[in-house]
Structure 1
Amino acid sequence: MHPMLKPALRRAWRDLQTVQFGVTPAHAVVVGPLDLATGSLLERLDGTRGLPLLREEARALGLPDGLVDRLVERLAKAGLIDDPTAGGAAADALRRRPGGLNDRLRPDLASLSVVHPEPGGGIRRLAARRAMRVQVRGAGRVGATLAAVLSASGVGRVEVLDGQCVESWDVAPGGLPARAAGKRRNEAAERLVRGAAPGRLPREAELAEPMGGSPPGLALVVVAPRDGLDAYAPDPVAAESWIASGIPHLYTGVVEGTGVVGPLVLPGGSACAKCLALGWEERDPAWPRLLAQWRSGRREGVPACDMAVATAVAGLAAAHVLAFLDGDLPASTGARWKTSLPALAWASERIGPHAGCGCGAAGNAGGECASGVVEPQDTMSG
């Protein structure tokens, strides 16, 4: 082990014996009391020394035997220690691969190291992203931008499915460029994803390595239709194959002046599109009739989709996707986040499993997932 204090957490001394790691309450940790020699030892935890050398340097500072090991262990438990040699075989392969750990991914790696406390946790998840496959259904202002963000964040394969040709109103910063107008949407989106990637996209064989030689299955489907109605009120029939095969899927889009992210559906574990539809029907008996007219009626003009709202929705949805791929359950699991013009305040709407739906989530205790915002400040003394 080559212990290294996580560079992403800013350090500041609260007083002569107490140091704080991190700025925000979500990640800040206070360490103390520390004497002058132990404080000096902290400066040597930079990833260039192994434990044997650190023990020697501690003895030279007059510190007792065993202090280095106890200090590193306690700092690691507090989530403050990283190890540039840790992360497992996939992380080692990423480090060795030419251009694998691209400089463009270093801010993402730093962020992951803060969120995931164990040494090597950041690069382990970055390596795992490279072997994952995500499908985005829709290449409008939300879907194309979201796909580009996922690719830029190190997801190895991002597929975008859409038909017809790019319209001038599909163009967005971070999404499809103006030169793509008139081109096939799926081809333009493929070029966008390739261009956004921080390095060479992994080949099929590289994707198959972590899967025991088999190509990776879909880790997630993101439904981001150009017509946001299909994200706001998703069609349960379209999701039946994902429910049957256990593929998680997330709905996101903009309809009129409202942006939505969620629900993230874990088949059999959280509410699905049919649960949502049945709940709506119970609350508003006229809802099915209205929805049938909206879906079948002939549309005039271009669907409303505010650029700033679409960009914000794409960013939040991408963050939820990445959290899920990294092994966490984002706040859109069994819930939906909405924001509307002009106030633009995000609000969460709980979507519970419906007893009349056959998806199985109603009988699964895991279908009830509470979410909230907590800002703790941990303290580590001694």
Structure 2
Amino acid sequence: MHPMLKPALRRAWRGRNTVQFGVTPAHAVTLGPMDIATGSFLELLDGTRGMPLLREEARALDLSDRHVDILVARLAAAGLLDDPEAGGPEAAALRRRAEVLDRQRSDAASLSVVHPSPGGGLRRLAARGAMRVQVRGAGRVGAVIASVLSASGVGHVDVLDGGRTEPWDVAPGGLPASAVGERRDVSARQLVRRSAVGGPRRTAGADGATGARPAEEAPLSLVVLAPRDGLSVYAPEPDASASWIASGTPHLYAGVIEATGVVGPLVLPGGTGCAGCLALHRADRDPQWPRMLAQWKSGRRRAAVPACDLGLATAVAGLAAAHALCFLDGELPASTGARWEAALPLLEWRTERLGPHVNCACGAGGQTEGELTSTSGAARDTMAG
């Protein structure tokens, strides 16, 4: 082990004998008591020395071997240490691709803060390369989500949509102005390729040989539904997600409708509320909801251009992509079984829990709280594994 204090966390003395690692309350850790000699020793934890050399140099500071071992153990237990050689073979392979890792150093630094074990951040970053995400929709929201996921190291990002790119589909980080008039799906896939870091991911076969694995053979890790028609996100059609419920495929909704941004829910089939649960809950609260929804879906639209503000669409796409990456990295984001909404002009984000409905065919409503936790944990472990 070559201990290294996580570079992403700024360090400051809170007083004469206490050191704080990190600035923000979410990830800051204080450690003490700490004397001047021990503080000087911290400068040696830069990943270039193994424990024998660290003990040797600590003696010059009048620090005993036992003091060094206890300090390193405390730092490791607090999640403050990294190891430039940890993370397993996938992380080692990523380190050898210097041009790729340079593009993703900020992502790796962020993951090292969130996942405290040595090499844990880089291991998760490397694991993204084997994942496949399908984004349904290539408008101002969906195209940006696809490009962010690709640039964040997700190995296979499929984009599905129909029609041709309209001028109002263009967005920074999304479809460029040169794509106007071209097929949306073709333009979106080109965007994904331009955004990707490195070349195509390669996987090892049963005989140890390596070869490019076709994207269509990789199982879907997540589906992101970001249709250009925001009504399909605000009031998703249960039948449209039936195949994902049946196959156990996690899916996340994101979009903009009438100057209102929506992120979530992230649906874990059999564990959290789905589109069918949402429809049933709404009908319970408002008996007129199904009648109005049928009119909105079947009636002739007065305007073909969606009320999708560029700033709001970009914010929704960024938040949705961050939630998707959080899930792919093995955690359950706040959109799990919940919906986040923000409306112009104030843009105050609010959240609404969307629990399972006992009458929904998805079956999530029949579970106990303990079973729900177990199901969610299993999904998280599968993604992290």
Letter in 1 for 2:13: W
- What is the TM-score normalised by the length of structure 1? 0.92
SS of the residue corresponding to residue 321 of structure 2 reads helix
How many residue pairs align between the two structures?
366
Letter in 1 for 2:194: G
Q: Report Cα offsets for 1:51-100 as digits up to 9, x if no partner.
A: 11111111222212222221111101111100110001111121124634
Whole-Å separation in 1 of the counterparts to 2:373 and 2:326: 19
Whole-Å separation in 1 of the counterparts to 2:238 and 2:372: 18
Moved more, 17-26 or 344-353: 17-26
Name the residue aligned to 1:27.
Answer: 27
Name the residue aligned to 2:8.
Answer: 8
Moved more, 15-24 or 350-359: 15-24
Letter in 2 for 1:117: P
Moved more, 297-306 or 278-287: 297-306
Gap regions ≥5 residues in structure 1 = 370-382
- For the 8 Å contact 1:323–1:329, the answer to whether it is kept is yes
Q: How does 1:155-166 map to 2 (within 5 A)?
A: 155-166=154-165
Choose which of 289, 307, 310 in structure 2 pairs with 1:307.
Answer: 310
Tell me the CA shift for residue 368 of structure 1.
7.3
RMSD over aligned CA atoms reads 2.0
Whole-Å separation in 2 of the counterparts to 1:98 and 1:64: 38
SS of the residue corresponding to residue 17 of structure 1 reads coil
Q: After TM superposition, what 4+ stretches of structure 1 lie above 6 angstroms from structure 2?
A: none
In percent, how many aligned pairs have the same letter? 69
Tell me the CA shift for residue 205 of structure 1.
6.4
Name the residue aligned to 1:112.
Answer: 111
Letter in 2 for 1:227: D
Name the residue aligned to 1:171.
Answer: 170
Q: Does 1:344 align with 2:347?
A: yes
Whole-Å separation in 2 of the counterparts to 1:349 and 1:23: 30
Whole-Å separation in 1 of the counterparts to 2:176 and 2:124: 30
Q: Report Cα offsets for 1:130-176 as digits up to 9, x if no partner.
A: 11100000000000011111111111111110011101110011110
SS of the residue corresponding to residue 336 of structure 1 reads strand
SS of the residue corresponding to residue 259 of structure 1 reads strand
Name the residue aligned to 2:94.
Answer: 94
Q: How does 1:286-305 map to 2 (within 5 A)?
A: 286-301=288-303, 302-305=305-308
Q: How does 1:22-61 map to 2 (within 5 A)?
A: 22-61=22-61
RCO greater where, 1 or 2, for CA within 8 Å and sep 6 or more?
A: 1
SS of the residue corresponding to residue 2 of structure 1 reads coil
Name the residue aligned to 1:254.
Answer: 256
- For the 8 Å contact 2:140–2:169, the answer to whether it is kept is yes
Q: Does 1:216 align with 2:218?
A: yes
Letter in 2 for 1:19: V
SS of the residue corresponding to residue 141 of structure 2 reads helix
Q: How does 1:249-288 map to 2 (within 5 A)?
A: 249-288=251-290
Gap regions ≥5 residues in structure 2 = 375-385
- For the 8 Å contact 1:353–1:367, the answer to whether it is kept is no
Choose which of 226, 239, 242 in structure 1 pairs with 2:241.
Answer: 239
In structure 2, relative to structure 1, the CA distance for the partners of 1:159 and 1:209 (3 Å cut) is farther
- For the 8 Å contact 2:55–2:64, the answer to whether it is kept is no
Q: How does 1:175-214 map to 2 (within 5 A)?
A: 175-203=174-202
- What is the TM-score normalised by the length of structure 2? 0.91
- For the 8 Å contact 2:144–2:317, the answer to whether it is kept is yes
SS of the residue corresponding to residue 66 of structure 1 reads helix
